[in-house]
Amino acid sequence: MKLLENYIKAVEELEKYFGIDNLNYYALYMNDDYFSIFDGEEIGWAETEEDLENQDGEYCQEAIRKAVEKEELTLVLIDNDMGGDNYWIIFETKNKRDY
């Protein structure tokens, strides 16, 4: 089926881009239009820069298990300490803000 072939190819291309294996081991979320801020141990993200800065509105924060920052995209493995499964999030690197 063409759709599955395209999916497998896309996952393989992302794995190559980020230099990782088994990207599909965890769920993958695309938050490429969100703003993010992280220090290596925790990451925060929000839909707006104002919510990110004020840690308000739709702001989320989680512990980081692994992060791979590239020129265009940043891949973060969230260490879900709320009893759920860990998961990947992809952000646009240009939307990363400093502490």
Query: Residue 42 falls within a domain, yes or no?
Result: yes
- Answer yes or no: is 14 within a domain: no
Q: Provide the pLDDT for residue 47.
A: 95
Domain hosting 85: range is 23-95
Please state the three-class secondary structure of the chain as a single string: CHHHHHHHHHHHHHHHHHCCCCHHHCEEEECCCCEEEECCCEEEEECCHHHHHHCCCCCEEEEEEEEEECCCEEEEEEECCCCCCCEEEEEEHHHECCC
Task: Tell me if 28 is assigned to some domain.
Answer: yes
Per run of 10 residues, the mean pLDDT along the chain (length 99 residues) is: 92 95 90 91 94 93 94 94 86 91
Supply the pLDDT for residue 1: 87
What does the alpha-carbon distance between residue 62 and residue 69 come to, in Å, rounded to a whole number?
A: 17
For residue 49, the model assigns a pLDDT of: 94
- 82 near 31, Cβ under 8 Å? no
Confidence (pLDDT) at 22: 85
Domain count, the chain: 1
| Predicted pLDDT of residue 84 | 77
Residue 9 domain flag:
no
The pLDDT value given to residue 51: 96
Report d(CA 71, CA 64) in Å as an integer.
19
